[in-house]
């Protein structure tokens, strides 16, 4: 995660996803906030709606991750396949998280797009 590479981007996005579990479980967003760009629309919407742990859904689990260098040393993309036990307890929901990340002495989540996918 410490390197400005495609693998580093995938690791940073994976870390951020696990940090999302922590932040929404504990309501401690300090580290989460340090990684998010001020203008990340999806991130800000999630942060403003701090109720994810109240809907009964399970934790996010990354099942696959890959990164791409867009502008080596600066701009990256990461794609994560993520599963989550659904709130009804009857199965698992599957998602694809597409991250836009920048690197400048550390990673910043610039944008996040989440779509449902078939299991």
The CB-side HSE value for 13 (13 A sphere, CA atoms) comes to: 33
| Angle CA 54–12–18, to nearest 5 | 25
Query: Which CATH number does the domain housing residue 17 bear?
Result: 3.10.450.50
Evaluate whether residue 19 is within a structural domain: yes
Evaluate whether residue 97 is within a structural domain: yes
> For residue 101, what is the enclosing H or E element?
strand 92-103
Domain of 89, in residue numbers = 6-116
The model's pTM: 0.88
**Which residues, 6 or more positions from 43, have their beta carbon under 8 angstroms from its beta carbon?**
36, 37, 109, 112
Evaluate whether residue 87 is within a structural domain: yes
Distance separating alpha carbons of residues 87 and 17, to the nearest angstrom: 19
Residues in the chain: 119
Looking at the structure of the chain, the number of domains it has is 1
Distance separating alpha carbons of residues 5 and 1, to the nearest angstrom: 9
Each residue's pLDDT expressed in tens, for the chain with a length of 119 residues: 788 999 999 999 999 999 999 998 888 999 999 999 999 999 888 888 765 545 556 789 999 999 999 999 999 999 999 999 877 667 889 999 999 999 999 999 999 999 999 86
Evaluate whether residue 1 is within a structural domain: no
Distance separating alpha carbons of residues 58 and 88, to the nearest angstrom: 10
């Amino acid at each position: 995660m410490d390197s400005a590479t495609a693998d580093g981007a995938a690791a940073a996005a994976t870390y951020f996803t696990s940090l999302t579990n922590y932040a929404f479980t504990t309501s401690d967003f300090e580290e989460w906030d340090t990684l998010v760009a001020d203008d990340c629309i999806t991130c800000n919407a999630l942060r403003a709606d701090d109720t994810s742990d109240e809907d009964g859904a399970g934790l996010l689990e990354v099942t696959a991750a890959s990164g791409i260098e867009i502008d080596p040393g600066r701009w990256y993309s990461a794609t994560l396949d993520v599963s989550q036990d659904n709130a009804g307890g009857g199965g698992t929901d599957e998602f694809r998280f597409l991250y836009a990340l920048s690197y400048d002495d550390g990673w910043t989540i610039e944008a996040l797009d989440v779509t449902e996918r078939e299991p």
